[in-house]
Structure formats: C-alpha cells, structure tokens
C-alpha cells in the first residue's frame, strides 16, 4: 500500500498558500516578493565590509550579503536542491543589478542603499495591502521562516508550469 505523504517543502507551500488565495494578493506577491528580496539583498550589500587585500579588484564582491546568500541558499538546498539552484540563479541576477546600481551611484546617481530602502518600504506596503485584500495576516507573523518560503513558493509555480520536479 502506497502512502501519499507530502514532502516538507510541499507542507510549507500549502501552509503559505493558506494566506495567499485572493488573486489580487497573489499578483501583488509576484511583484513585491522579488522586490523585497532584491532590496534586502541590496541593503545588506551596502553594510560596510572589511577590505580584503587578497581579493584585489574583486574585493567589493564579497560582503555581508555573501553570508546572507550562503545561509539562504543552504536553507533552500536542505528543502529542495532544485529550488536552491533556481534561487541561486535569481540571486545572481539580482546581484548583477546591484552592481549596476553601484555604477550608477559612482557616476552621480542615487545611493544604492537609498534606492533599495525605497523599494523595500514600497514593496512591504504592497504586501500589507495584499494581505488587507486577502483578509489574512502575513504568514511570517506566525513563523519567521515564511519570509524565506515566499520566494520559493513563487518559484514552485514556475517549476510546475515548465514541468520541473522540485
């Protein structure tokens, strides 16, 4: 007799989905969750990091965000290696965008931290509007790990759509 037990990641997705049923809230999450991840990564990226002489011209690429990335990718890997690979790809793209923001700042544009702080605040306002529409509080208020589940919850829909088992 075959048992139909769900994997730990599917249980987390189901629990997260309980607070994300309204189509407007889901759409807001598709926009705001990636923006929150990007802006948080950018804000942590901007925290001063000790200069590492041996890194030479690559010195700016190791920073506090590197540790945030390592921790989160490890967490995702423990849940699902496939999800960790997708998130690593997403973080790579976001990191490239942050480097571009640094170049804009160096040429007289706005500070990276300021751009990321504005995005962060606006995206969270969007999230709370979505949950107001939903009529349910955000999942992370129950358990903080749902802050990490949100991004891969979105990715799991992409995986399902293109037929990749996670």
27-41, 59-73, 152-166 — which is least confidently predicted? 59-73
- Give me the pLDDT at residue 36, please: 97
113, pLDDT greater than 80? yes
Q: Which residue has the tokens 């306002």?
A: 125
pLDDT digits (tens, 9 = 90+) for 30-67: 999 999 999 999 999 999 888 777 777 777 678 899 99
- C-alpha closest to that of 86 among 145, 166, 149: 166
CA dihedral 73, 74, 78, 84 (to 10 degrees): 20
Tell me what the mean pLDDT of segment 130-137 comes to: 93
Backbone angles phi, psi at 30, to 5 degrees: -60, -30
Yes or no: say if 112 and 42 are a contact pair by the CB < 8 Å rule.
yes
Q: Is 137 helix (H, G, I), strand (E, B) or coil?
A: coil
């Amino acid at each position: 007799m075959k048992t139909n037990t769900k994997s730990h990641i599917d249980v987390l997705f189901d629990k997260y989905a309980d607070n994300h049923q309204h189509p407007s809230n889901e759409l807001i999450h598709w926009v705001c969750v990636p923006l929150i991840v990007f802006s948080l990564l950018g804000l942590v990226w901007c925290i001063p990091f000790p200069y590492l002489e041996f890194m030479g011209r690559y010195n700016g690429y190791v920073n506090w965000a590197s540790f945030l990335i390592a921790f989160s990718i490890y967490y995702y890997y423990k849940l699902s290696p496939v999800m960790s690979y997708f998130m690593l790809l997403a973080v790579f793209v976001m990191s490239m965008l942050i480097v571009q923001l640094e170049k804009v700042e160096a040429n007289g544009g706005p500070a990276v931290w300021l751009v990321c702080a504005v995005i962060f605040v606006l995206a969270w306002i969007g999230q709370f509007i979505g949950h107001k529409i939903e009529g349910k509080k955000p999942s992370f208020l129950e358990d903080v790990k749902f802050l990490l589940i949100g991004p891969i919850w979105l990715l799991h829909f992409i995986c399902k759509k293109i037929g990749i088992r996670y």
